[in-house]
């Protein structure tokens, strides 16, 4: 039965009992839903985010898989969260039909009659939630018998003409209506409770503890239960703060002073907090930490304890302060809270720690202090990390939905860009104007339902005395890069005339500073530069003009931001040789060097020196020169590479790589090979940037030159020098649950023309069994060779293109010959006559027996000219310790018979090993980019 409007907002009364042994909460919920829209409603929607852990098909499980995290997929049922709804009735005790929507963590309730605008209806829910283990997202029950409860009970979805139905994707962005909430919560003895709600009527009884939690005009109730009473209440002049954030090396009294300092800062810059208590927890901080060197282990942490503590506390407190007060759509418009929050962090450092360096105390250490990174101010990190995304061409507009952001942007880059945007506006409009905007917006919109980014825009425009449409149209709503340069400068005794070029066409204001001996003597802002525009300014004592000198603008490339007024010769940048990689220094041409050590059987350990120009931020043109010395051959070896990368769009054909590389090493004793390879690669990616699918088309010509030891001349049955034109198309879907890739490879030389196709597929089933399949087929279209050097191989290709990382490429016996690289036939057993000079077709398969122990099998056909087609097979056990990086193969049965029963079985064991640091690093970075 619907009732006349009695309240202006929803009323929520909950009786909840937490059962420790089963980690379940029994809930009776009395919910009064008020139709605050202008439409009649027949169906109501509620968020049930605890149920996102229920199975392997939810949006949360799929999100985990996209980030190469299979913990939820492999979880046992007892580890998962689940909601069991027993009854939903109205105030006439008439049962209501309900069902789960979409990906299982939203329910729809069908009303028995239309709920008209302004009317309300009372609903009674009876249900039980089983909490997930906290190892998945941090929410649920912890290993130390504690609990982190958030988004744990049913909450109303937002309706503003359309229902905002958002799945739980571990993004901390539940969008729910504001309610008046009373929770009578019963929980086990010997646990301590901290919450963002007001606590009332706390009592103990033999079976447990009881507390009433009250939230007025609030969103969701957060509860942290711990076995130790680690939370402290701080009553400051501005608000009451409950926190367990502390520092062992920072005195407790000093911590209290710092907390009061931050409380005062937030009150002065935002206004009065609208609730009784601000919860600032270590748990919340760990969900959104200070990324970067702040996360180094404590024994090498570069910051003073006070600064470290205050930044950690400020980050967490500001995030909670805004989230608990401004009720914007956190999935679609999170950038507003980010803009305000990170702007306040930037401002706090400017006011209280103006000399703080990003590297902290490390900036004073010999050997480190000369790095440009060590000279950067703390607040320059925001430009650095936002540009890390832009330089990789994976940056996304601030208006991008939270669930469409790649992880690096969602966690770091977009928040930093939003805060930089406010700092940019502050420099352009004036600090007073932006500070007034923040205060006004918080005061007028805190706790107000249906607050939007448009309200924030109107507030900025209210205080701006200049046009700011560019900020919303270009900076916020697009991923357009900002990039200006000073083209030319002419000077007279009393004026300076210069031309500014807008390299990217993003028409936003740009600042120009006049410097004398690194001191600012003048500053100007210029606007309306579509392409190029010439300006004249009064001449003072400037000896340089520098764009964006104060780093307030997240500019794509700052290496061309300055012009000297002292003549052409003085404008040439000096070369700076520096040990190890560094951040970009716009005033030098940086050349980095680092010692390297390589190894192969014929050169032995080869120490060398790597010279390169790759900084922490990606550059279009890169070179990498790595000369090394072979002690076994007493000669120089090494490689050199040049690459120019051109990004186009975000999707479709998004990148073109042009490269030229050369390398030289030894393939046998006193026998050297040298390769020279020009190449071009086109790359494709889908419209969904979260997708791990990539396609590429490679064109390259590899020239190979070999100098042969005199004792081997008679054994070499091919010309020592040759060239191969290679075209390859590759399509990869890199997913931890369903991995697939296929490629077509064509090669042409004076001696042969061949075509090959490769398909690989890996699937992790619901039963947690994994199946690995690979198919390879190759055919010579022409073959004039008289040897097997260019032939297809079953188990150990000759690698005439010198692509494969063999430790001993010419070995046919001994440990080095047992290295296997899954290429061409992909067999693991060493069979007789393993080459095919006509065609080959093989299939490789494996499946897990127990954890990383797998059974494998290979079978196929090979055909040599003038001979019948042969059927070949092998099988055995695979220890898949780290897929593609470290594996062991133990042959059991093949064309040779029972290999496990033959003598010298140890010589038949094969291994896969990867020692390339760059390849190994890819295991950890793939989930972020």
Instruction: Assign residue 359 the CATH number of its domain.
Output: 1.10.390
d(CA 872, CA 414): 54
* Helix (H) / strand (E) containing 853: strand 853-863
The answer to whether residue 921 is domain-embedded is yes
Look up the CATH number of the domain holding residue 494: 2.60.40.10
Nearest partner of 334 among 274, 397, 391, judged by Cα: 397
The answer to whether residue 286 is domain-embedded is no
- Per-residue confidence band for 569, with pLDDT thresholds at 50, 70 and 90: low
d(CA 835, CA 865): 11
Q: What is the model's pLDDT at position 714? A: 61
Q: Which two tokens stand for residue 16?
A: 């909840």
The answer to whether residue 149 is domain-embedded is yes
Q: What is the model's pLDDT at position 915? A: 64
Do the strands 574-579 and 588-600 form a parallel or antiparallel pair, or are they unpaired?
parallel
Look up the CATH number of the domain holding residue 21: 2.60.40.1730
The model's pLDDT over 608-657, given as tens digits with 9 standing for 90+, comes to: 999 999 998 899 999 999 999 999 999 999 999 999 999 998 999 999 99
The model's pLDDT over 435-445, given as tens digits with 9 standing for 90+, comes to: 999 999 999 99
Q: What is the model's pLDDT at position 478? A: 95
Q: Which two tokens stand for residue 596?
A: 């390297």
Q: What is the CA radius of gyration of the chain?
A: 33
Give long-range contacts, CB 8 A cutoff, 24+ apart: 250-256: 250/305, 250/306, 250/308, 250/309, 254/306, 255/309
Q: Which residues share a beta bridge with 85? A: 127
Question: Residues 665, 737: one domain?
Answer: yes
- Per-residue confidence band for 898, with pLDDT thresholds at 50, 70 and 90: very high
The answer to whether residue 325 is domain-embedded is no
User: Mean of the pLDDT values across residues 883-888?
Assistant: 80
Q: What is the model's pLDDT at position 5? A: 45
Indicate if the pLDDT at residue 927 is higher than 70.
no
Residue 771 carries which DSSP code?
E
Task: Identify the domain boundary among 445, 476, 507.
Answer: 476
The model's pLDDT over 741-788, given as tens digits with 9 standing for 90+, comes to: 999 999 999 999 999 999 999 998 878 788 999 999 999 999 999 889
Question: Residues 374, 412: one domain?
Answer: yes
Sign of CA dihedral 232, 234, 240, 246: negative
For the whole model, what pTM was predicted? 0.92
Q: What is the model's pLDDT at position 294? A: 65
Question: Residues 397, 519: one domain?
Answer: no
Question: Residues 701, 778: one domain?
Answer: yes
> 93: exposed, middle or buried (C-beta count within 10 Å: 0-12, 13-18, 19+)?
exposed
Question: Residues 392, 499: one domain?
Answer: no
The answer to whether residue 582 is domain-embedded is no
- Per-residue confidence band for 6, with pLDDT thresholds at 50, 70 and 90: very low
The model's pLDDT over 405-421, given as tens digits with 9 standing for 90+, comes to: 999 999 999 999 999 99
Mean pLDDT, rounded, of the chain: 92
d(CA 905, CA 892): 10
Cβ contact 256:310 at 8 Å: no
Q: What is the model's pLDDT at position 84? A: 96
Q: What is the model's pLDDT at position 716? A: 65
Indicate if the pLDDT at residue 574 is higher than 90.
no
The model's pLDDT over 698-747, given as tens digits with 9 standing for 90+, comes to: 999 999 999 887 776 666 667 889 999 999 999 999 988 899 999 999 99
The model's pLDDT over 317-370, given as tens digits with 9 standing for 90+, comes to: 999 999 999 999 999 999 999 999 999 999 999 999 999 999 888 888 888 888
d(CA 901, CA 893): 9
Indicate if the pLDDT at residue 188 is higher than 50.
yes
Alpha carbon distances (Å) from 822 to 154, 804, 873, 883: 51, 10, 15, 11
Phi and psi at residue 341, to the nearest 5°: -60, -50
Q: What is the model's pLDDT at position 484? A: 94
Cβ contact 158:52 at 8 Å: no
Give the three-class secondary structure for 383: helix
Question: Residues 521, 650: one domain?
Answer: no
What percentage of the chain carries pLDDT values higher than 90? Answer: 74
Give long-range contacts, CB 8 A cutoff, 24+ apart: 778-781: 778/754, 778/824, 778/836, 778/839, 778/840, 778/841, 779/754, 779/755, 779/838, 779/839, 780/752, 780/753, 780/754, 780/837, 780/838, 780/839, 781/753, 781/754, 781/755
User: Mean of the pLDDT values across residues 499-512?
Assistant: 94
Q: What is the model's pLDDT at position 775? A: 98
Question: Residues 409, 518: one domain?
Answer: no
Question: Residues 736, 675: one domain?
Answer: yes
Do the strands 208-218 and 179-187 form a parallel or antiparallel pair, or are they unpaired?
antiparallel
User: Mean of the pLDDT values across residues 878-898?
Assistant: 89
Task: Identify the domain boundary among 539, 556, 572.
Answer: 572
Question: Residues 687, 762: one domain?
Answer: yes
Cβ contact 149:224 at 8 Å: yes
Task: Identify the domain boundary among 529, 555, 572.
Answer: 572
The answer to whether residue 147 is domain-embedded is yes
Look up the CATH number of the domain holding residue 673: 2.40.160
Cβ contact 244:259 at 8 Å: no
Question: Residues 28, 61: one domain?
Answer: yes
Cβ contact 256:424 at 8 Å: no
The answer to whether residue 821 is domain-embedded is yes
Q: What is the model's pLDDT at position 576? A: 87
Domain encompassing residue 85:
1-229
Question: Residues 154, 104: one domain?
Answer: yes
The answer to whether residue 13 is domain-embedded is yes
Question: Residues 654, 744: one domain?
Answer: yes
How many domains is the chain partitioned into structurally? 4
Indicate if the pLDDT at residue 37 is higher than 80.
yes
- Per-residue confidence band for 918, with pLDDT thresholds at 50, 70 and 90: low
């Amino acid at each position: 039965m619907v009732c006349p409007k009695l309240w202006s907002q929803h009323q929520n009364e909950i009786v909840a009992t937490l059962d420790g042994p089963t980690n379940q909460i029994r809930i009776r919920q009395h919910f009064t839903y008020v139709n605050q829209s202008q439409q009649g409603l027949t169906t109501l929607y509620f968020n049930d985010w605890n149920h996102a852990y229920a199975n392997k098909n939810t949006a949360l499980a799929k999100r985990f898989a996209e980030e190469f995290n299979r913990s939820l997929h492999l979880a046992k049922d007892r580890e998962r969260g689940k909601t069991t709804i027993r009854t939903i009735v109205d105030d006439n005790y008439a049962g209501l039909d309900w069902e789960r929507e979409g990906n299982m963590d939203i329910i729809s309730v069908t009303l028995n009659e239309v709920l008209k605008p302004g009317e309300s209806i009372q609903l009674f829910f009876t249900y039980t939630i089983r909490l997930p283990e906290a190892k998945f997202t941090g929410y649920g029950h912890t290993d130390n018998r504690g609990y982190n409860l958030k988004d744990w009970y049913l909450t109303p979805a937002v309706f503003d003409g359309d229902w905002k139905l958002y799945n739980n994707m571990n993004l901390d962005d539940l969008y729910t209506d504001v309610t008046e909430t009373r929770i009578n919560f019963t929980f086990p003895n010997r646990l301590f409770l901290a919450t963002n709600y007001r606590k009332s009527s706390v009592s103990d009884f033999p079976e447990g503890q009881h507390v009433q939690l009250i939230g007025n005009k609030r969103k969701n109730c957060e509860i942290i239960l711990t076995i130790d009473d680690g939370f402290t209440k701080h009553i400051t002049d501005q608000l009451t703060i409950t926190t367990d954030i502390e520092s062992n090396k920072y005195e407790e009294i000093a911590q209290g002073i710092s907390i009061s300092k931050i409380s005062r800062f937030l009150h002065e810059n935002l206004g009065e907090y609208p609730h009784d208590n601000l919860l600032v927890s270590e748990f919340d901080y760990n969900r959104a930490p200070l990324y970067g060197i702040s996360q180094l282990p404590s024994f090498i942490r570069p910051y003073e304890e006070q600064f470290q503590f205050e930044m950690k506390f400020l980050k967490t407190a500001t995030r909670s302060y805004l989230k608990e007060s401004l009720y914007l759509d956190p999935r679609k418009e999170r950038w507003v809270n980010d803009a305000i929050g990170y702007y306040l962090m930037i401002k706090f450092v400017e006011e209280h720690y103006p000399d703080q360096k990003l590297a902290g105390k490390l900036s004073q250490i010999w050997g480190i202090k000369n790095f440009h990174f060590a000279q950067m101010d703390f607040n320059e990190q925001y430009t650095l990390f936002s540009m890390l995304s832009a330089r990789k061409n994976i940056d996304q507009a601030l208006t991008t939905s939270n669930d469409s952001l790649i992880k690096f942007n969602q966690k770091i880059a977009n928040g930093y860009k939003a805060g930089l945007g406010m700092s940019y506006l502050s420099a352009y409009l004036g600090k007073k104007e932006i500070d007034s905007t923040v205060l006004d917006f918080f005061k007028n919109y805190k706790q107000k339902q249906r607050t939007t980014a448009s309200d924030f825009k109107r507030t900025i425009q209210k205080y701006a005395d200049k046009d700011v449409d560019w900020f919303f149209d270009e900076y916020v709503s697009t991923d357009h890069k900002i990039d200006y340069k000073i083209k030319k400068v002419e000077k007279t005794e009393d004026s300076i005339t210069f031309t500014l070029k807008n390299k990217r066409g993003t028409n936003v204001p740009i600042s120009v500073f006049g410097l004398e001996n690194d001191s600012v003597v003048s500053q100007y802002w210029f606007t309306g530069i579509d392409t190029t525009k010439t300006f004249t300014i009064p001449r003072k004592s400037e000896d340089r003009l520098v764009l964006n000198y104060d780093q307030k603008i997240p500019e794509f490339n700052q290496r061309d931001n300055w012009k000297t007024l002292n003549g052409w010769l003085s404008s040439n940048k000096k070369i700076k040789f520096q040990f190890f990689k560094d951040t970009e220094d716009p005033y030098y041409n940086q050349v980095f060097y680092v010692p390297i050590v390589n190894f192969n059987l014929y050169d032995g350990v080869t120490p060398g020196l790597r010279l390169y120009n790759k900084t922490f931020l990606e550059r279009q043109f890169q070179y990498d020169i790595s000369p090394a010395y072979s002690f076994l051959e007493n000669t120089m070896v090494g490689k050199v590479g040049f690459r120019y990368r051109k990004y186009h769009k975000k999707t479709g054909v998004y990148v073109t790589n042009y490269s030229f590389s050369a390398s030289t090493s030894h393939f046998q004793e006193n026998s050297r090979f040298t390769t020279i390879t020009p190449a071009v690669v086109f790359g494709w990616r889908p419209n969904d940037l979260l997708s791990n699918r990539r396609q590429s088309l490679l064109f390259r010509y590899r020239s190979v030159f070999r100098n042969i030891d005199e004792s081997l001349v008679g054994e070499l049955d091919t010309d020592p020098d040759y060239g191969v034109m290679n075209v390859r198309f590759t399509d990869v879907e890199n997913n931890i649950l369903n991995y697939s890739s296929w490629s077509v490879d064509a090669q042409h030389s004076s001696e042969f023309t061949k075509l090959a196709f490769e398909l690989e597929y890996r699937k992790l089933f619901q039963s947690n069994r994994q199946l690995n399949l690979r198919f390879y087929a190759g055919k010579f279209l022409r073959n004039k060779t008289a040897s097997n050097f260019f032939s297809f191989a079953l188990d150990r290709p000759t690698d005439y293109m010198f692509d494969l990382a063999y430790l001993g490429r010419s070995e046919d016996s001994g440990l080095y010959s047992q290295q296997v690289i899954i290429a061409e036939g992909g067999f693991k057993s060493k069979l007789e006559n393993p080459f095919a000079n006509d065609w080959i077709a093989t299939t490789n398969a494996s499946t897990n027996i127990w954890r990383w122990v797998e059974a494998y099998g290979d079978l196929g056909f090979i055909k040599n000219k003038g001979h019948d087609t042969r059927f070949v097979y092998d099988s055995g056990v695979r220890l898949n310790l780290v897929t593609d990086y470290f594996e062991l193969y133990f042959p059991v049965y093949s064309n040779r018979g029972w290999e496990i029963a033959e003598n010298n079985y140890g010589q038949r064991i094969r291994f896969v090993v990867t020692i390339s640091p760059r390849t190994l690093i890819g295991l950890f970075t793939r989930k972020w980019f």
